[in-house]
Amino acid sequence: LVVAECDASWPGEKGARDRTTRPGVSLAAVFCLTSTGHARAAGGSDKAQAPSGAREGELAAQQETTRAKGLRVIVAERPQLRLLAASVIVRQGAEADPQDRAGTASMAGDLLTKGTTTMSAPAIANAIESLGGSIDSGAGWDQSAASLVVMSNQAETALKILADVVLHPAFK
């Protein structure tokens, strides 16, 4: 923790001789003092810790199926985690934007969670937050996605909201 106090009286200011301290300038001094490019590790030591040994890890086995209309579903279960992380990914992104409409995929991706034909953006946010989860959407260069994370015991309700976001966006 760096605490700094500096003289913030201005030349010619009334009371300049009493060396009044201004909090805004003190804050600026903290930034100046901490941005010198020098850093020390916590505890006064500047030596790096020895690397830890390799840890055994195991990826969850994936099960993949393709639905009748071509939707690929990939499931990787880890029963020890009581979370559901679900994403709907479309293999199309900004690279498919028409030349005269750059940003279309990005805008559409961002608008998915901003309301549906049945739920407003605040209703979506409140519903997911009441489940203890989060929801997000967007688009990159080669894909667009809508994702959510909730406790697994809230999966049914959360997946209905994700389906509504993907299938019925209001684009407002």
Whole-number pLDDT of residue 94 = 96
Distance (Å, rounded) from C-alpha 51 to C-alpha 45?
A: 16
111-165 pLDDT, tens digit per residue, is 999 999 999 999 999 999 999 999 999 999 999 999 999 999 999 999 999 999 9
pLDDT confidence tier of residue 25, bands split at 50, 70 and 90? very low
Asked if pLDDT for residue 20 goes beyond 70, the answer is no
Whole-number pLDDT of residue 138 = 96
